[in-house]
Amino acid sequence: MSTKPHRVALYLRVSTDGQSTALQRRELVQACKHRGWEVTEVYEDAGISGAKGRDGRPAFDRLCQDATRRRFDVIAAWSVDRLGRSLQDLVGFLEEAHGVGVHLYLHQQAVDTTTPAGRALFQMMGVFAEFERAMIRDRVKAGLADARAKGVKLGAPRTDAKVLQRIEREKAKGLSVRAIAAKVGVGAGTVHRVLSGEHVSQAGA
């Protein structure tokens, strides 16, 4: 019995206007053809740094929205650094995509979550993301302890009004706390506090 080929969305990004996405497109199209996949959508952020969040990458934002609408089955990107700023970003993005049944293919890292091996690797990435978060927490705690030892007065951090709005907007889309934290670029604890009403924005201070 024949099965329909996977519908694939290509995500292409280069950091400067002087660079071209042509190589990324050519290699990804070849990889999809080799696997019998059909490229149905192409999203391109040209001259946009990967340091920018979702709001600063319009094509990536459309990609995420269309993923929730199941306009494709697989998202294909040239490399992991085309998608996110960190491992936490990538895992958050993957969790969101997998939550709506969309897989991921990363050409340079040979990651393909349509396969059992690829799904196992995804689970390992989640472990490493948790390790990264733990390291960040340890560094923050060490920094706070050092500041207190030096007599620096520390108050509870306030969250910028724009960040509050982004957190609330992502929550309205049904994302998990972990996915929101990765997308907005804050800690999961911050998201918890915002959603529980414990944070006060700077704008309202």
Catalytic annotation on 15?
A: yes
Catalytic residue among 2, 15, 20, 176: 15
∠ Cα 127 178 126 (to 5°)? 15
Cβ distance 104 to 130 under 8 Å? no
What strands lie across the sheet with 103-106, from one edge to the other? 38-46, 7-14, 74-77, 103-106, 111-112
At a CB cut-off of 8 Å and minimum separation 6, what does 16 contact?
Answer: 47
If residue 85 lies in a helix (H) or strand (E), which one and from where to where? none
- How many Cβ atoms sit within 10 Å of the Cβ of residue 19? 13
Positions marked catalytic: 15
